[in-house]
């Protein structure tokens, strides 16, 4: 289940507000996005630029993280009060790992590695 936290962070809103149908639609949309991104890479040799969004979803779903709506907050998710910055790479093509934003306030940096052909988590 993915949760989204409000701008001021005291109010947690569940992204699954309307039940399992919303969650199922979100999963279906991400599957479509992953297929489109992998097909785009096969056709052009270039990434479509959705690796981070897929990785954020995978991390939130797998680890029960709360995603933050502001991508410029310096962190991408919360686990309790821990602020987590999520870095993502598609492997093997994504050979460089980005340095965390050192000017941001975060507690943990998490690396999510995705298969470059399927965008599935490795």
pLDDT at 16 over 60: no
pLDDT in tens, 79-121: 999 999 998 888 876 566 666 777 788 899 999 999 888 899 8
Specify the 3-state DSSP secondary structure of 30: helix
Secondary structure (H, E, C), 95-118: CCCCCCCCCCCCCEEEEEEEECCC
pLDDT at 122 over 70: yes
- Helix and strand numbers, DSSP H then E, in the chain: 2, 6
Give the domain range for residue 55.
Answer: 3-115
Asked, for residue 67, whether it belongs to a domain, the answer is: yes
Asked, for residue 122, whether it belongs to a domain, the answer is: no
Give the chain's domain count.
Answer: 1
* Pairwise CA distance, residues 87 & 47, whole Å: 16
Asked, for residue 57, whether it belongs to a domain, the answer is: yes
Q: What is the pTM of this model?
A: 0.75
Q: For residue 114, give the nearest of 87, 85, 89 by alpha carbon.
A: 89
Asked, for residue 121, whether it belongs to a domain, the answer is: no
pLDDT in tens, 32-79: 999 999 999 899 988 888 988 999 999 999 999 999 988 778 899 999
Cα–Cα distance list, 15 to 6, 23, 60 (Å): 11, 8, 11
Asked, for residue 66, whether it belongs to a domain, the answer is: yes
């Amino acid at each position: 289940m993915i949760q989204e936290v409000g701008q001021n962070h005291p109010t947690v809103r569940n992204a699954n507000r309307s039940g399992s149908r919303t969650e199922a639609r979100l999963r279906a949309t991400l599957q479509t996005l992953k297929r489109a991104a992998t097909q785009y890479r096969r056709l052009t040799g270039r990434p479509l630029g959705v690796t981070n969004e897929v990785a954020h979803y995978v991390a939130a779903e797998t680890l029960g993280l709360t995603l933050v709506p502001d991508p410029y907050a310096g962190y991408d998710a919360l686990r309790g009060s821990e602020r987590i910055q999520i870095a993502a790479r598609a492997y093997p093509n994504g050979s460089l790992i980005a340095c965390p934003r050192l000017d941001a306030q975060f507690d943990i940096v998490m690396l999510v590695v995705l298969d470059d052909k399927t965008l599935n988590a490795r």
